[in-house]
Structure 1
Amino acid sequence: MAGQARLPPALAALLAGLPTAGLPRLQVGLTLPDLRPWLGGNALPGVWSFAAAAPGPHVAVMAATHGNEIAGAIMLDRWLRAGLRPVRGRLSLVFGNLDALARFDPEDPTATRFIDEDLNRLWDEETLSGGRRSCELRRARALRPFLDTVDVLLDLHSMLWPSDPLMLTGQAPRAARLAQSIGLPPLVVADAGHAAGRRMIDYAPFVDPAGRRTAMLLEAGSHWEAATVATMEVVAAQLLRLAGTVAGDDPVLRPPPEPAAPPRLAEVTRTVTAHSRNFAFLRPFRGGEVVAQRNTLLALDGEEEIRTPHDDCLLVMPSLRTMPGQTAVRLARFRPDQVET
């Protein structure tokens, strides 16, 4: 491949680290409420857990696994203030990375994703039981015994770059089935996670082929938009109704949405991890785009070309600014029985 002089102007600008037309501006349209009433928890710091008299599953909703993703914390604050309680089983509402969340600054909103390392890349046995130390590892080790009691986990996330909402289910078929039964968002993606480490939804009890516990990760929309909070509320409420954890007409919860087509299921065929500091897409792709033709050039990683491996290639959460070792994009295809006609 030749040098940058032959690249399209937008790509050359990205490779040079210059501002590029089409990249979204970061605007914070949400205000983080006073979370001090919830920091102590009643089970662990930042963990509120409520049991009903009637038996049922333990359902946990996790927010702020990344400290700058405040939409989920806003939702949990509302539910706690409104006194949401289960009618069956146990309901737990969890603020994940308390230290990073406490440092969130709307003037620098991307700075507090974590303190030392990503809390959502630590969930393998070697890391959890090893000798390494960090702020996030302390939190993961504190949360681990609690997560060992959870039957269904919904981990709430939001996105920096433009993308349609979706549910990530890892590689456990039972998680994909549950996500589809919730009915929204309209896209469910089964994937193998990240090269940089295992996510909470990939924690062994949730993916054990012989087990019944399960976990899903909701990517609800842009980080700091009211619509993202609303999406989280609708999806989480549907899960609680489906599990029988809450009454179907509980006034705290958003009403169920109008019936719609079942979510489509896509399976990741390649996870693209950036290897150079010069990783750049040819244009600012949006998550949820489908590239029709196989072998279409999407990005350059230094001199390596990143191309679509098959026709009708779904782009899952392309990251328009990617550092080496980070996931740049996941490439997926819809299951044969999920293709629209």
Structure 2
Amino acid sequence: MADLGLPSLEVRLPLPALARWRAGNTGLAGVWRFAAPLPGPSLVISAAVHGNEIAGALLLQRWLRDGVRPRRGTLTLVFANLAALDRFDPADPTASRFIEEDMNRLWAPELLGGPRRSVELDRARALLPVMAQADVLLDLHSMLWPSDPLFLSGPGAAARALGQALGAPPLVVADDGHAAGMRLIDHTRFKDGASALLLEAGPHWQPETLALMEQASARLLRHLGMAEDGAALPPEVALPSGRLARVTRTVTATTTGFTFLREFRGGEVVPRRNTLIALDGEVEVRTPHDVCLLVMPSPRVMRGHTAVRLARFEDPGEAATC
């Protein structure tokens, strides 16, 4: 069995400098809203739902500094978990993912409307009206373990089609979320009509991750007809439509002894069904079908958390093999 150590923890991005942007312009800290004179969609771009994922915060900071505004509709930029982001320390860069609990597992309506309180839950409740008015949501994230970038789509068909139309990154994965709690993109707002995409843009704290976030965000702005002429955005590049994969099984660790049999990278494809890839205590985890895409495997996973998602491509096409 593979004994996997932590990936590189080198922080190659500058720290976000949020003093100028902390207050927002909506009466809610960290939330900036810009409305164009022309009618159009309401686009929300959120960053730092996890406080150690600083690339998204750097992108929003850059767009605010450069005066990126919508040509039509409304653009809202959200620094989501400010309390955790404030604690980011390059000397211990994984420690500030959250203060009390994962903010991206708290978006079930019964939880948001319940009596329990925490730093993250209080912040999610405060942000809910912002998210509830979105026609389109792009939630910016990065990854600890090695994986190819991808979109995770919200529950509606429109989100899947939107991710494919953007094409950067070139993979959209449709899934049903985590057993540990509901993500922002899974909120009921995005089941009918409104679209939500979660961008997993690459490894934490790396310049290429920030570059992909900006490319994807700029493509989205242009796709919605919201980009101003001459805006400080990356140049437009023609790209093919992205591929769609649908999760067929979400593997949740049921023991503290979950172990992959070798090192797997997210985006790797296992060619044959019934291939043994992991052990959950004494229970074997095998691929349920041929050409099985491994989505964001986590070599060190706690019991009750997602270890890996197994997916099938919706389109035929050629897939890389492991």
The answer to whether the superposition gives a TM-score over 0.5 is yes
Q: How does 1:32-181 map to 2 (within 5 A)?
A: 32-43=15-26, 44-181=28-165
| Match of residue 208, structure 2, among 227, 234, 251 | 227
Residue 309 of structure 2 corresponds to which residue in structure 1? 330
Structure 2 unaligned runs (5+)?
Answer: none
* Shift of residue 143, structure 1, vs aligned partner: 0.4
Q: Is the 8 A contact 1:265 1:338 kept in 2?
A: no
* Shift of residue 250, structure 1, vs aligned partner: 3.1
Number of residue pairs matched by the alignment: 318
Deviations 1:142-190 (A, max 9, x none): 0011111111000000000000110000331110011111122110000
Q: Is the 8 A contact 2:154 2:195 kept in 1?
A: no
- Between the aligned partners of 1:321 and 1:225, the Cα distance in structure 2 is 21
| Match of residue 273, structure 1, among 252, 258, 282 | 252
- Between the aligned partners of 2:81 and 2:157, the Cα distance in structure 1 is 28
* Shift of residue 262, structure 1, vs aligned partner: 1.5
* Shift of residue 256, structure 1, vs aligned partner: 1.6
Deviations 1:83-103 (A, max 9, x none): 111110101111010000000
Deviations 1:238-269 (A, max 9, x none): 0001111112x433111122x23321100000
- Between the aligned partners of 1:169 and 1:305, the Cα distance in structure 2 is 28
Q: Is the 8 A contact 2:16 2:54 kept in 1?
A: no
- Between the aligned partners of 1:171 and 1:87, the Cα distance in structure 2 is 28
- Between the aligned partners of 2:95 and 2:108, the Cα distance in structure 1 is 25
Q: Are 2:252 and 1:252 aligned?
A: no
Q: Secondary structure at the match of 2:34?
A: strand
Supply the RMSD in Å over aligned alpha carbons: 1.2
Q: Secondary structure at the match of 2:41?
A: strand
Q: Percent same amino acid among aligned pairs? A: 62
Residue 236 of structure 1 corresponds to which residue in structure 2? 217
Q: Secondary structure at the match of 2:73?
A: strand
TM-score by length of 1: 0.91
| Match of residue 215, structure 1, among 196, 221, 224 | 196
- Between the aligned partners of 1:225 and 1:148, the Cα distance in structure 2 is 31
Q: How does 1:186-201 map to 2 (within 5 A)?
A: 186-201=170-185
Q: Secondary structure at the match of 1:310?
A: coil
* Shift of residue 141, structure 1, vs aligned partner: 0.4
Q: Secondary structure at the match of 1:38?
A: coil
Whose radius of gyration is greater, 1 or 2? 1
Q: Secondary structure at the match of 1:144?
A: helix
Residue 281 of structure 2 corresponds to which residue in structure 1? 302
Q: Is the 8 A contact 1:59 1:245 kept in 2?
A: no
Q: Secondary structure at the match of 1:154?
A: strand
Residue 339 of structure 1 corresponds to which residue in structure 2? 317
TM-score by length of 2: 0.96
Residue 5 of structure 1 corresponds to which residue in structure 2? none
